[in-house]
């Protein structure tokens, strides 16, 4: 926790050195987030319901998507990009030789504090949507939503680590983090919209359902216990695979001095 706190403080101080840029990035992030809601509203306007989800139910989902997107953009994406650059340039040695867990250090290399604006907007959108629906979540529903949301964060980090593992082999691929962010945009839609292979992928391989759909369902009181247990199991399985994959990938790393 001291390492994470220290790196977060350094990133915040670095971002605040250019305050105009800090706030402009935050405003642009909010604008992009609001623009992303428009397709959902258009779909509801033409279809009435989207896979059984009404307009304000979709807004609850959008709020969770913004929260997930904020966590990815604030904490994970900058570190993935920085670590991939280390791997590509052969300078990961400087991280591996430090007296702390190498994977932890790689995942806290850099942060983007201005992406916190999306988190605030996401929480506000969830609260507004629940108020418009007229649904007050119980303590159990809030707890369930938090648990499945935390499982989604674990799954998100596991996928990020697997991306790092791929970068050891595909050194010239510089846009893996951007690719992951693009895939996450499918989380704006309920997983029930997708069919066949895509639905299986977004439930288990890249479990967007755990990150956005299931937390929203939990707040709305429609998430089943079996689904919650499956989500937790999927996240745990991905975390184990990611850790094992990381240890195996380190064996193939060739530094600049080797």
Taking only the tens of pLDDT, the chain with its 258 residues reads: 888 888 888 888 887 777 666 667 767 766 776 766 666 666 656 566 677 788 888 889 988 999 998 899 899 999 999 998 888 888 888 888 888 899 999 999 889 888 888 898 889 889 988 998 899 999 999 999 999 999 999 999 999 999 999 888 876 666 777 888 888 888 888 888 888 888 888 988 899 999 999 999 999 999 999 999 999 999 999 999 999 999 998 888 876 555
* Residue 191 DSSP class: G
What residue has token string 């980090």? Answer: 157
Any residues with CB less than 8 A from the CB of 214 and at least 6 apart, and which?
148, 152, 223, 227, 228, 231
Contact 70, 202 (CB under 8 A): no
Closest CA to 117 of 27, 216, 12: 27
Q: Where do the domains of the chain lie?
A: 2-250
- Under 8 Å between Cβ of 83 and 109: yes
| Residues 203 and 119: beta-carbon distance below 8 Å | no
Q: Cα separations (Å) of 72 from 159, 221, 248?
A: 11, 26, 25
Distance CA 171, CA 168 (A): 6
Distance, C-alpha 113 to centroid of its chain? 15
Q: What distance separates the 2 farthest-apart alpha carbons in the chain?
A: 63
Length of the chain: 258
């Amino acid at each position: 926790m001291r390492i994470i706190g220290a790196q977060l403080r350094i990133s915040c101080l670095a971002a605040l050195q250019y305050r105009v840029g800090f706030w402009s990035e935050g405003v642009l992030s909010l604008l992009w987030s609001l623009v992303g809601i428009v397709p959902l509203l258009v779909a509801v306007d033409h279809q009435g319901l989207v896979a059984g989800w009404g307009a304000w139910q979709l807004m609850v989902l959008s709020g969770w998507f913004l929260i997930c997107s904020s966590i990815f953009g604030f904490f994970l994406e900058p570190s993935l990009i920085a670590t991939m650059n280390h791997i590509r340039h052969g300078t990961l040695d400087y991280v591996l030789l430090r007296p702390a867990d190498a994977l932890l250090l790689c995942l806290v290399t850099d942060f983007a504090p201005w992406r916190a604006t999306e988190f605030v907007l996401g929480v506000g959108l969830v609260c507004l949507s629940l108020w418009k629906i007229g649904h007050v979540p119980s303590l159990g529903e809030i707890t369930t939503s938090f648990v499945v949301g935390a499982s989604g964060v674990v799954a998100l980090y596991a996928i990020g680590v697997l991306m790092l593992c791929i970068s050891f082999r595909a050194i010239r691929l510089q846009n893996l983090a951007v690719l992951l962010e693009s895939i996450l945009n499918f989380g704006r839609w309920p997983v029930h919209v997708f069919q066949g292979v895509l639905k299986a992928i977004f439930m288990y391989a890249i479990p967007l359902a755990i990150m956005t759909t299931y937390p929203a369902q939990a707040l709305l009181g429609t998430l089943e216990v079996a689904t919650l247990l499956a989500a937790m199991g999927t996240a745990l399985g991905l975390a184990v695979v990611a850790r094992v994959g990381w240890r195996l990938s380190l064996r193939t790393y060739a530094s600049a001095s080797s």
